[in-house]
Each structure stands twice: as C-alpha cells, then as structure tokens.
Amino acid sequence: MSLGSGPLMNAHLHQEEALQCERLAAITSSIGEGVCAISRTGRIIFVNPAAVEMLGWEHLDELHNLANIPDGEPGPMAPSFILAPAMRSMSTARSVVSDDSRFQRRDGSQFDVAFTVSPIAGEDEPSGAVLIFRDIRERKEIELQLTRDAFHDALTGLPSRRLLLDHVDHALRRAAHSGELHAVLFADVDRFTVINDSLGHHAGDALLVAAAQRIQASLRPGDMVARVGGDEFAVLLEGVDDATDALDAARRILDGFREPFSLPDGHDVVTSVSIGVALSAPGESRDDVLHDADVAMHRAKATPGGGHVELFDVEAMGTRSAERLDLEAALRHALVRGELEVFYQPFVDLNDGSIVGAEALVRWHHPTRGLLAPAEFIALAEETGLILPLGHLVLERACQQARQWREELGVELTIGVNLSARQFQQAGLGEEVQEVLELSGVHPSQLCLEITESLAMDDVARTSEVLASLKALGVKIAIDDFGTGHSALGYLTSFPVDVVKIDRSFVDGVDCDPVKSAIVSAVINLSAAIGSTTVVEGIETLAQLTHVRALGCTTAQGYYFARPGPAHVLEAMIDASEEQGVDSRYREGSLASGRAR
C-alpha cells in the first residue's frame, strides 16, 4: 500500500459521511422525531432540528450538515444515553429498540422517549448508527392516569373497591399476629335515587363528589374511604380500641351531612347517610367483614327517616332481615306474574343522528312500591340466584322485541343485553343463548351481550374462552363500563370484542377536562385499531356530544337523546326520526324531543 493511501481513504470516508448526512438532512428536516447519526468512534455527526429542539442542543446547529464542519474536525462525543445503544447496535449489527427510556436535555432535565437505533452498513462492519427517538410524555401521562383509575374511582377520586379490599386484607393479616381491632363502615346516601332521577345525573354526580369530600373530612388521618358502588362508600378504620371508636366515627360522618349540599346547577339538596358498622374478628375474611357491614347498613337504611347507624350484631343480623325476605318472595312472584318489563335506551349514530340500536334494561312494576329501578332489586337477585331466571327473561324478551322491530318497522337494531356475574359464570351459557336465538328467530348479529370491565378481568383466561364460545354463535360482544375497573386497554386485544362502552364517568366534563378527553380519545383510537366500535355512555349535553364527535366517536347513548323507556316509546322515536329526515333531525336535536323523561 502506498504512503498516500491512508489519507486518501480517510478523505473518501469523510466524503461518504458528508453525503450520508446531507441525505439525512434532506429527509429528516421537517419530521417530528429526533434523529441523530453517530460515527463508529461514538461521535455525533448529525442531528436534525427536532433532536436539537428536544435535547436543547442549539450549540450543535452546525451539525445539520456535516459539510459545514472543517475537514478532519470530529463531532462531539455522544452522551451515554445515546452512545450505549448506538455502540450495542454497531457491535451486533442489529437494530436496538426501546419503548420506554429517558433522555437528558442539555440543562440536565430528563424526559421520556421511545427510540430505535439501527447500524449504518459499511464494507466490513457498520460505519456508524442512526438513532430515531420521539417524546412519549403524553403517552406516559395517559398510562399513569389509566393505572391510577384501576385503583381509584373516576368520579370522586377515592380509592376503588379493589384497593379497599387489598387494604382490608392487609389489615386482617396484620391483626392475626398483633391482635389489633379494625372496623369497616358501609355508608349509603339516602334518597340518592330520587335526587338523581329528579335532577339528572349531573346533579347526582355532583352530590356524590360532595358526599365523598364530607366523609373524608370527618375521618382521622390514615383512615381510608372508598367508593364501592353507585351511592355507597366504605370506610376502613384501622387500630380502633372498641366499637365505641367506630360508632363515634360514624356519627362524625352523620354530622357532616347536616348542612345542605349546594350543587353546581343551583339546587340545594338535603340528604343523609345510613351507616352500617362491623368489627373484625379472629378468623374472618375480608368478605365476612364487608358482608357484616353491608347487612348492618341495610338495617340502618330500613329505619324510617334516614341518617341512622347500626352496629352489626350476629344474633340479630346473622340472617337476612324480614324485609329482605319479603322482597325476595315478591321478586319470585314478579317473575311469574309478569311484573317485570324491559325498557330500552337507544344507541345513536353521531354521523346522522339515526337510532342504530338500544340497551335492554329491566324495570319492576312492584304492586305497592311502584316502578323500581334495577338498583333496588338486582343486588338481591344476584345474592339469591334469582338473577338467572331474571336474566333469561330479559334476554328472551329483548330478542323477541328485536325480531318484532325488524318485521314490523323494517329496522335491524342491535340490542344490548347485560350479563350478570352469575350468568357469565354459569355452565351452559352458550347453550342458553343459542336456544333463545333459535326460539325468538332473531338474527344473532342483532344481539350484543354486554359484560362489565371488572367482570371481564376477574379471570382473563376464562373470559377469553367464554367470549369465544359466544362469538361462535354469531352474536356481538361489548365491554361495558370501560374505565371503571382495571382500565386494561392492552387486554382488549385479547378478547373478541365488537363494542367498547366508555363509562359515563369519563364523559362528565370531557369537554373541559383534558385528561378525560385524552383517555376517551385513547380508548376510541385503540378500539378502532382492533376493529371495535366505541359507544360513549352518559351523553347529557350538546357540549359533550360535540366533543366526543370531534374525538372520533361514532355512537353514543345518554339522557341527551332519551331515558330508558318502554318499547313503544322507542318505536315512536324511530317513526319520528324517519318522518323528520336525517339532516333536520340531527341539526335541531329533535331526536331528543321524544325523550322519555
């Protein structure tokens, strides 16, 4: 080799690097991802404008084009967070990918990134590497919010039932060794159903938030309060001396409800809470303690006037109360006397305002108490096993109604039917659904079976198996109340889901809360990516409707369109919508003019 061959080779390599950097500059000058090129010796030979901005490397502006660097002057040494993956890529001659890493700006601050670094092919070995990265702070914020929502109630911000159970478990395990005494309080907001139905869900939600705040303000530091149901809260008091401590805490909560609640809509509401108290005992499980508190709460609620406290007494409350036994007997009779009726709440296509389906919701025409909502008897039906014949009745009538609408009105509406935990867990569910489909004559695609997110996540493997067997029948599958349980976005890809129903708690304030808006948008986009339809529940205002449409949602339900009503009410809405025409119907909001309020 001649003496001049080395410099000539270096000059050739330098020229080649300059050409590569020019190509990179031309390609990457306007993209949002950061791009860095690293030489074989670990020096930065190129950065694009996005990388300069994200990393705060304004002093490297000259590296946008390697030709601006004097011959023989190397670029700066790459920092370790770039150098390490670049060297690994060059040593293995393979790409290195990270979905979650951290880069450091010039000022020392850090930010979350995802990156890919790939080797630049050389004659014998890689001559360098190119690293492409993007800022994932927004994604991380959404993930953190979803993780938080798995353990916290979306409406009140309180711990969820799941987190409460974990804490009760831990307290009882500790008590087994230390002998400590713990107490659980169950608090139910009196007259909540009346307030919610008369003033609307916005008022009901505002009341629940205010109630949660007053309960928290009544407790000691370290006491835990969780929202465990619609209008039910549970409190864990660790390390109490005796029942007096727990009863004193309950009375402080009652005192906190003596002042009226001033709701945002201008209404002043007076309400109270009924509280059940249970103390831990050796050998008891978390379910035992929570059950005892629940029984005591129902005893307190049965006392006229509201605002009462009951301490669980195993002798007096060990068996179900006479009132609950009477209600159970009445529900058994209702199943055979035709006192149960299926109401329907429409699903609305947000592109044109047409009714594309409905959710089937049971109501009980009680002979003395009037029309009862599900909240007043479904829990009892679950406890006694009556949910199985009740669920079968709803499934059967919904399928018959869907076929009738198809034959008489010429519309093929999708009817959503909720499956309870007991229904979903029973053997032979698939055979039962198949029999109802055959006897009713409805097309399987018109039936959408809905299970809650929490139920779906209780046993992921079994859920996948059961849903697959139901899908084989040709029916649709929906995940209901999405976001209130585990918020498991990733698991949606594991289930054969046709519809994802975003819980109404995320809709309240979605038009002014950027976090809720980001969560709804993320669910809509993921649902679309896996081929599912997103239904947003709880639309009550035009602002909410406009916002979720802008986020890409195509289907919704809520009081803005109609409350649940008998079949003939939905029929009238369908007729009215056809007479008025799609454009005027949607523009004027006249679809809601038939609201069964």
The model's pLDDT over 45-80, given as tens digits with 9 standing for 90+, comes to 888 888 998 998 876 554 544 434 444 456 788 999
Residue type present at position 519: I
* Per-residue pLDDT at 496: 86
What is the amino acid identity at position 314? V
Indicate whether 27 pLDDT > 70.
no
Range from 139-148, 247-256, 303-312, 507-516 carrying the lowest mean pLDDT = 139-148
Rounded to a whole number of angstroms, the distance between the first and last alpha carbons of the chain is 94
Which residues share a beta bridge with 449? Answer: 417, 477
Question: How many CA atoms are closer than 13 Å to the CA of 320, on its beta-carbon side?
Answer: 10
**Is it the case that residue 486 has pLDDT exceeding 50?**
no
Q: 49, 74, 77: which is closest to 61 by C-alpha? A: 49
Q: What is the pLDDT of residue 392?
A: 93
Q: What is the percent of the chain with per-residue pLDDT over 70, rounded to a whole number?
A: 84
Matching residue, tokens 């190397």: 74
Q: Percent of the chain scored above 90 by pLDDT?
A: 44
233: nearest Cα among 280, 180, 192, 283:
192
CATH label, 155-319, candidates 3.90.1150.10, 1.10.10.10, 3.40.50.720, 3.30.70.270: 3.30.70.270
What is the reported pLDDT for 400? Answer: 95
Query: CA 104, CA 291: separation in Å to the nearest integer?
Result: 52
Q: Which of 35, 56, 55, 48 is nearest to 132 (CA)?
A: 35
d(CA 105, CA 124): 34
Strands 447-452 and 476-482, bridge-based pairing: parallel
Distances (CA, A) of 419 to 149, 194, 211, 484: 23, 26, 30, 17
Query: 441 vs 5, which has greater pLDDT?
Result: 441
Measured between alpha carbons, how far is residue 368 from residues 278, 371, 521 in Å? 32, 9, 46
Q: Residue 592 phi/psi, 5° resolution?
A: -80, -5
Mean pLDDT value of segment 298-306 = 76
Q: Quickly count helices (H) and strands (E) in the chain.
A: 21, 21
Residue pair 207/148 in contact (Cβ under 8 Å)? The answer is no
In CATH, 5-135 is 3.40.50.2300: no
pLDDT at 16 over 70: no
Residue with tokens 């005992």: 281
d(CA 197, CA 207): 13
Q: How many beta carbons lie within 10 A of that of residue 521, not counting itself?
A: 17
Identity (one letter) of the amino acid at 10? N
Rounded to whole angstroms, the Cα distance separating 156 from 101 reads 33
Q: Is the pLDDT of residue 263 over 50?
A: yes
CA distance 138 to 149: 17
The secondary structure of residue 152, as a DSSP letter, is: B
Pairwise CA distance, residues 416 & 448, whole Å = 5
- The one-letter amino acid code at 535 reads V
Q: Which helix (H) or strand (E) holds 379?
A: helix 378-384
Q: Are 318 and 296 in contact (CB under 8 A)?
A: no
Output the six-digit token pair for 203. Answer: 């008022």
Which of 3.40.50.880, 3.20.20.450, 3.90.226.10, 2.30.30.20 is the CATH number of 324-587? 3.20.20.450
More confident call, 509 vs 578: 509
Phi, psi of 186 (to 5 degrees): -110, 125
CB within 8 Å of 581: residues ≥ 6 apart:
none
- Which pLDDT tens digit goes with each residue over 380-405? 888 777 888 999 999 999 999 999 99
Q: Does 186 score more than 90 pLDDT?
A: yes
Cα–Cα distance between 311 and 183 in angstroms, integer?
10
Report which residue type is found at 389. Answer: P
pLDDT one-digit tens code per residue, 524-551: 888 888 888 899 999 999 999 999 999 9
For the chain, which residues make up each domain, given as ranges? 5-135, 155-319, 324-587
HSE at residue 161, side-chain half, CA atoms within 13 A, is: 14
Same fold, 5-135 and 155-319: no
